[in-house]
Amino acid sequence: MAIAPITGKLRKRFWLDLSCALGLGIGAGYAYWYGSHLRDLERQESYYVKLERERAKAAQ
């Protein structure tokens, strides 16, 4: 029996795989960046602002 030629893989799977892989990856990466890293930095910055306010208040 003749074997059916394997064709059209690029069209059928490659672009979908590439889009899903990079899309999910970049989405998760940004979720981590905004949800964890920047949130922690903001918390740290707000603590330093609080310290600075307290220092200014004490100096008055």
Partner 1 sequence: MINYLTYLTTIFNDASEPWQLGFQDSAAPGFTGIVTLHNTIGFYLIVISFSVFWVIMSVIYYYSSSKNPIAYKYLTHGTVLELVWTITPALILIAIAFPSFRLLYLMDEVISPTLTIKVVGHQWYWSYEYSDFITDSGDSIDFDSYMIPESDLELGQFRLLDVDNRLIVPVDCHIRLIITGSDVLHSFAVPSLGLKLDAVPGRLNQVSFLAERSGTFYGQCSEICGVWHGFMPIVVEAVSSPDFIVWLDSAS
d(CA 40, CA 31): 13
d(CA 45, CA 43): 5
> Shortest gap between Cβ of 59 and partner 1 (angstroms)?
11
Q: Binding partner 1 by CB under 8 A: which of 2, 8, 11, 48?
A: 48
The answer to whether residue 53 forms part of the interface with partner 1 (CB under 8 A) is no
Angle at 37 between CA 34 and CA 40, to 5 degrees: 110
Chain residues binding partner 1 by CB under 8 A are 3, 6, 13, 17, 20-22, 24-26, 28-30, 32-33, 36-37, 40-41, 43-44, 47-48, 51
